[in-house]
Amino acid sequence: MEEVFVDTNILLRHVLGDHPQHSPRATAFLERIERGEVEAHIADTVVFETVFTLQRQYRQPKARIRTAILPLIELPSIILPGKRRFREVFDLYVELNLSFADAYHAVLTKHLKLEKIVSFDQGLDRVKGIRRIEP
């Protein structure tokens, strides 16, 4: 099986379908991953950049971003350390209206079995299972 690293623009072109040549090629490549023909490594930064670009540049709603990205990163042939945490990250991002980074940090705090997160961001007060404290 072929192993590769996948960059952000492949996910973006697939999700957006906005480029006449790149979008169909990105979709076809992701279909190869889905069939298990290719094992694709991605980094947390690829997920972050994809979410950020879809939200800020393309003004996509958070729920649509979750619906588009989560099934892709959950594919068995996608290798992403800690990928199981991203379902909860996307849920906090959408349901509590947190920034993607804050949602990720809250989930990581819980995963590390920590009870407190030091932050001035009051939005984190809405996350069950952790307590925000200020320095």
1 pLDDT band, cuts 50/70/90, is: confident
| 68 and 94 inside one domain | no
| 50 and 113 inside one domain | no
Task: Note whether 69 and 11 are within 8 A (CB).
Answer: yes
| 115 and 68 inside one domain | no
Task: Note whether 104 and 49 are within 8 A (CB).
Answer: no
Spatial distance between the Cα atoms of 29 and 108, rounded to a whole number of angstroms: 31
**How many structural domains comprise the chain?**
2
Domain limits for position 56: 1-81
Taking 90 as the threshold, does the pLDDT of residue 16 lie above it? yes
34 pLDDT band, cuts 50/70/90, is: very high
Taking 90 as the threshold, does the pLDDT of residue 18 lie above it? yes
Transcribe 7-64 into DSSP letters. Answer: -HHHHHHHHH---TTHHHHHHHHHHHHHTTSEEEE--HHHHHHHHHIIIIIS---HHH
Q: What is the pLDDT of residues 80-115, one digit of tens each?
A: 998 999 999 999 999 999 999 999 999 999 999 999
Looking at 39, 63, 81, the residue that finishes a domain is 81
The secondary element (H helix, E strand) that includes residue 132 is strand 131-133
Taking 90 as the threshold, does the pLDDT of residue 124 lie above it? yes
| 8 and 73 inside one domain | yes
| 91 and 77 inside one domain | no
Q: Output the average pLDDT for the chain.
A: 97
